[in-house]
Structure 1
Amino acid sequence: MNGSGPLANGAERRSAEPEWVLCQSCRLLLYGKRFDRHAKVCPECGWHSRLTASQRLGCLLDPGSVTEVQPGAAVHDPLSFTDLRPYESRLTAAKRTTGMDDAVLIAHGTVRGRSIVVAAMDFRFLGGSLGSAAGEAVATAAETALGCGSPLLLITASGGARMQEGALSLMQMARTSNAMAALDEAGLLTITLVTDPTYGGVSASFATLSDVLIAEPGARMGFAGPRVIEQTIGQRLPAGFQTAEFLLDHGLVDAVRSRAEMPRTLASLLGVADVPDDQWGQDVEDPMVRDPGRLPRHPAEEIVRRARDLGRPTATDHIGAWLSDFVELRGDRTGQDCRALVGGLARLDGLPVMVIGHQKGHGPDELLRTGFGMPSPAGYRKAARLMRLAAKLRVPVIALIDTPGAYPGLDAERGGQAHAIAECLRTMGGLPVPIICVISGEGGSGGALALAVADRVLMCENAIYSVISPEGCAAILWRSPERAKEAAAALRLDARSLLELGVVDGVVPEPSGGAHNGPERAGRMVRNSVICALRDLRRTPGVQLIAARRARYRRFGSPWV
């Protein structure tokens, strides 16, 4: 570690660590040195104690890689503020006890060899409050990341705005948000590690503007803290409210990770910048069938049965089988997460990609948990968020489609199901990155099309793709759901028919009798087909991709197709 600040020589001017520490969760008495070796995590219950800013950097960055970055100058006690004691006195005491100039420490280093800029907040310095100096430090960190083309990691720990600086403290929310916007415009990855606590002006500005939000177990985040809520409106928060686990369930963070997991997770995310050379994928043989005459004809009802078989590989099966370094990204950022739709950043034979897919399951419990693969509006809002992130990071999108359709319930209608699907359609149409879609099972109506506005639409041999289910069509047009077999044949929802119609570009062969008879081989065929489709598109300029994609969908239904 370089420099003369708090990173140098461990000089944080703090008192010696206690010999024994009481876990604040399970109340176990912990030996101090062992507790330190475990990064201040209770080995019994997993409780995460607070770390200083320099300890955070030591846990995450490669040894010997860290260079401290000095922020610009900031105003000092602009209001000559005094409460129970002068603000200047509080500042002097905080500097003396922490060895820091203010609440944010900036460093440039590496995580497993990959460059990153880090702005780490320290709660010991006036509760990590956001004042002019802290805002300057966050802005400086963003500008440093912009200057060297590196991702930015924000480690948050704050009670909120620094009241002693009045409106100037409030202005830091806009100042730091604008700094984050500049990184968005430059296409640089931003990550927030939420630590306990993160409240007020920090949570309502730069902390929640990152591309990826990861929280430590038990970390609390919100705009108003429990004491403010209770004093303002008289409501006492329920147990677990605003914790990392609550935030994950409600779609407000992407993941909850322990300190031991964070370096690996960060390295996986930073790998999005590792782009293979032009020879990527050249050794893979293309298995796709593009001539409808080479495909056998099967009764439509048999194809429907195979497409719905619970033994077929799901989206998570495909992700686990042929993608690496997958980091799932969860939530719609408006209070919900839909488990019928999964997605995140991953690598396909070294190529960074964004994968998004409908998730059903192989048994009753999983089907119930995923809503039978029928996404709610939150699922489609999450998908659109991940698509926009793929565009920002310039990575291709792989969409895996297997859904009976979008969820049709009352809550979905109240939540704007139609709006959410429409937004996906519009977003996909304008993405300046390659999009490969694979209909791997059921492709039901607009709920499937919401992920299928692609440059290349592939379809597994025993999948189906239709405007409506055979049962629904029979009930509406034949006025009898028992006539679903006739409806299935009339809809021409099989791969051969859709290849003849030009709706799909290629058909992925399956093991005899269906993918459920050989999931590993079926997954391998999908992988190879996706690679071959991507290798032809990955160097195409975004403007050309968008123009060709829009022209493709402009033609459907025209007599010259």
Structure 2
Amino acid sequence: MPDLAPGRHSARRLIALLTDGSPEGFRELHHPEREFKPDGPLSWQGYDAARARAAARTGEEESVVCGTADIGGTPAVVIAFEFGFLGGSLGERTGDRLELAYEYARTHRLPVVPLVATGGSRMQEGMLALTQLQRVARQSMLTRAAGLAQIAVLRDPTTGGGWATLGAGADVVLALPGAQVGFAGSRVRPADADPAAYTAEAQVAAGAADAIVRPEALRETLALWLRLLSAGADAVGTADTADTASTASAVGARPTEAAPPPPPSPLGAAPLPASGWDAVQSARVPQRPRAEAYLDAYFTRRASISGDRCGGTDAGMACGFGERAADGQTVAYAAQLGTATRPAGYRTAARLIRLADRLGIPVLTLVDTPGAANDADAERQGAGAAIADLFGAVAAARRPVTTLLIGEGGSGGALALAAPGNTWATPDSYFSVIAPELAAAILKRPESEVETTADQLRIRPQDLVELGVVRGIVGCPQPSRDL
């Protein structure tokens, strides 16, 4: 078969690229094929002939190839779509294969990697084809409930129900550059539709996919993601995930005894502030260490997620998973980067915390924001609901969460990311119910009293320890307070 453009590789060719071409690297799942009456369940004239031509052209009997593969040392169930077989469309036999693949993944506790390239549901099977999306959605949710990761790769094209289930429904969504991605396929869009809106790049910009990955980097990228997201699978028990209703009612219950990740060591050599206003000024120094420096020091390798899956991204919130430098443990992270956090940032952080919780992975959060974005667009984007959702995600987390305050802690927009009872502070940070300038304005005090107001708010790190707001100050000899 000729070597196709990266987005249009055959299913077998792509599997070979991911397994380095090793014959032992992929083991196909075998299953009985359901019997169709002539020309399929709808007796669609010519359907048998179309399937026969597709099989002769591709060497496949259906539009998906399913099996187990070792990708960079981590075993996974791989679902590879063959677009050359009737446009990678989903029919009843496709649904059978997908269901078997997900069941195998749960039985053997393996992550699932859908390599999606599909035009949607198969018209020659009508509504019976469309209802396969319900089967796929159920299998995906059962696998999610079992605490197993799903990492999708969007190829060209990924449209229709395949995008709306196997693609967009995955935990992490990667895409090949230039791939056509969208619910509407090219032949059913409005005539005046902007084609740029139906691309992988547009989906990343809209927060519906996490990253663009070049084909030559795909195997290494998938290997990293599989290693990171499979780290906590053994810690997720059947009882922990089987009943989502009982799980939701047990807020705060810890299904494992995993220790919380330690807070990062302080970067820089800032002394403890003498006054509240000194604390504010120290936290606002442009040159002080920011979250990226802390993440680089804490992790040897990391991979980022992006987007709130609701149409938004926030460059001021960094989320992802990394291998801790001290012991190689996988830790999820959500870090504010010093700007006012937008609603999409809060929703992305909540998504990260819930994903880590489901996969049995502890979380580190870094707090550094003057507060939540308060412009009109932020209100229209649901700032209050987004902050409430993050408060809820942190409160309901069953895996350990550790927080380090590394700069400004501005009001509820900062507190939403903080772990109750396990928040620490750096010497060059402060936490306040509101910025001292705004507090003075609310109290109708003149500008000359801002510094006095900062002292009265008791926002210094050492004040926060005394008040019981934080457990301790990293890098300082002061005794910590266990809450």
Does residue 435 (structure 1) correspond to residue 401 (structure 2)? The answer is yes
Q: Distance in 2 between matches of 1:296 and 1:431?
A: 32
Q: In 2, are the aligned partners of 1:75 and 1:132 still within 8 Å (CA)?
A: no
Higher gyration radius (CA): 1
Give the drift of 1:58. Answer: 0.5
- Correspondence for 2:302 among 326, 332, 336: 326
Select the residue among 42, 48, 65 that pairs with 1:79: 42
* Structure-2 separation of matches of 1:248 and 1:422: 25
Q: Which residue of 2 aligns with 1:353?
A: 331
Contact between 1:119 and 1:137, CA under 8 Å: does it hold in 2? Answer: no
Q: How does 1:397-416 map to 2 (within 5 A)?
A: 397-416=363-382
Find the counterpart in structure 1 of residue 238 from structure 2: none
* One-letter amino acid of the structure 2 residue matched with residue 265 of structure 1: T
State how far apart, in whole Å, the 2-side matches of 1:175 and 1:219 are. Answer: 26
| Mapping for residues 150-189 of structure 1, pairs under 5 Å | 150-189=110-149
**Deviation readout 1:477-509 (Å, 9 max, x if unpaired):** 134344321111111111010100001001013
Q: CA offset at residue 239 of structure 1? A: 4.4
8 Å contact kept, 2:259–2:400: no
Q: CA deviation at 1:263?
A: 1.5
Match of 1:259 in 2: 215
How far the C-alpha of 1:331 sits from its partner, in A, is 0.4
State how far apart, in whole Å, the 2-side matches of 1:193 and 1:481 are.
55
**Residue type of the alignment partner of 2:468:** G
2:9 aligned partner:
51
Give the distance between the partners of 1:408 and 1:391, measured in 2 at CA: 29
Pair 1:138-2:98 in alignment: yes
Give, in angstroms, the shift of residue 342 of structure 1: 0.9
Query: Is 1:425–1:453's contact at 8 Å kept on the other side of the alignment?
Result: no
CA distance in structure 1 between the aligned counterparts of 2:446 and 2:154, rounded to whole angstroms: 54
Counterpart of 1:202 in structure 2 is 162
Gaps of 5+ in 2: 236-255
Q: Work out the CA distance in 2 between the residues paired with 1:480 and 1:324.
A: 49
Contact 2:272/2:461 (<8 A) preserved: no
Name the TM-score, length of structure 1 as normaliser: 0.75
- Is the contact made by 2:173 and 2:211 (CA closer than 8 Å) also made in structure 1? yes
Contact kept in structure 1, 2:272 and 2:427, CA below 8 Å? no
Which of 447, 458, 478 matches 2:444? 478
Counterpart for residue 268 of structure 1: 224
2:172 pairs with one of 204, 212, 222 = 212
Cα distance in 2 between the residues matched to 1:75 and 1:320: 56
**Which residue identity is paired with 2:315?**
R
In the alignment of these two chains, the number of paired residues is: 446
Letter matched to residue 212 of structure 2: V
Aligned residue number for residue 59 of structure 2: 99
Deviation for aligned residue 1:72: 4.2
1:49 CA displacement: 4.4
Q: Is contact 2:112-2:150 (8 Å) kept? A: yes
Which whole-Å CA distance do the structure 2 matches of 1:359 and 1:79 have between them? 56
User: Identity percentage over the alignment?
Assistant: 34
Matched, 1:88 2:48: yes
Task: Encode CA deviations 1:35-54: one digit per residue, 9 max, x unaligned.
Answer: x5xxx66xxxxxx4410000
**Structure 1 residues 74 and 336: CA distance shift in structure 2, 3 A:** farther
Where do residues 3-18 of structure 1 align in structure 2 (5 Å cutoff)?
14=1, 17=2
Shift of 1:455: 4.3
CA pair 162-297 structure 1, distance change in 2 beyond 3 A: closer
What is residue 75 of structure 2 aligned with on the other side?
115
Q: 2:194 aligns to what?
A: 238
Match of 1:444 in 2: 410
Residue 299 of structure 1 and its aligned partner are, at CA, apart by: 2.1
SS at structure 2 position matched to 1:227: coil
Displacement after TM superposition at 1:102 (Å): 0.5
User: Counterpart of 2:466?
Assistant: 500
Q: What SS does the corresponding residue of 1:264 show, helix, strand or coil?
A: helix
C-alpha distance in 1 between matches for 2:301 and 2:35: 44
Cα separation, 1, equivalents of 2:449 and 2:200 = 50
| 3-state SS of 1:266 partner | helix
Contact 1:472 1:481 in 2 (8 A): no
- Say which of 285, 303, 323 aligns to 1:309: 285
Q: Does the CA contact (< 8 Å) of 2:263 and 2:364 recur in 1? A: no
Deviation string, structure 1 residues 25-71 (Cα, Å, up to 9, x no partner): xxxxxxxxxxx5xxx66xxxxxx441000011011125222111124
**Structure 1 residues 478 and 124, CA, compared in 2 at 3 Å: closer, same or farther?**
same
Distance 1:168 1:462, change over 3 A: same
Which secondary structure does the structure 2 equivalent of 1:229 belong to?
Answer: coil
2-structure distance, mates of 1:317, 1:238 = 39
Distance 2:208 2:67 in 1: 27
Deviation per CA, 1:299-356, whole angstroms, max 9, x where unpaired?
2222211111121222222222221221100000011111111100111131111100
**Correspondence for 1:491 among 452, 457, 467:** 457
Cα shift readout 1:505-532 (whole Å, capped 9, x = no counterpart):
010137xxxxxxxxxxxxxx9xxxxxx9
Q: 1:258 to 1:286 in 2, by over 3 A?
A: closer
- Distance in structure 2 (CA, Å) of the matches to 1:267 and 1:243: 25
Q: Is the Cα–Cα contact under 8 Å of residues 437 and 458 in structure 1 kept in the other structure? A: yes
**Match for 2:11: what amino acid?**
A
Partner of 1:229: 189
Conserved in 2, the CA contact under 8 Å of 1:201 and 1:223? yes
- Secondary structure of 1:248's partner? helix
Partner of 2:470, secondary structure, is coil
Deviation at 1:287, TM superposition (A): 7.3
- The alignment partner of 2:443 has SS state of helix
List, as ranges, runs of 4+ consecutive aligned residues in structure 1 with deviation greater than 4 Å.
Answer: 275-278, 284-288
The aligned amino acid for 2:44 is F
When the two structures are superposed, what TM-score results if normalisation uses the length of structure 2? 0.87
Instruction: State the alpha-carbon separation in 2 of the partners of residues 72 and 339 from structure 1.
Output: 49
Alignment of 1:413-424 (within 5 A): 413-424=379-390
Q: Decide whether aligned partners of structure 1 residues 305 and 159 sit closer, same or farther in structure 2, where only a CA change above 3 A counts.
A: same
Distance 1:285 1:490 in 2: 28
Q: Which moved more, 1:322-331 or 1:171-180?
A: 322-331
Pick one of 323, 345, 365 that aligns with 1:379. 345
Aligned counterpart, 1:193: 153
Alpha-carbon distance in 2 for matches of 1:310, 1:469 = 17
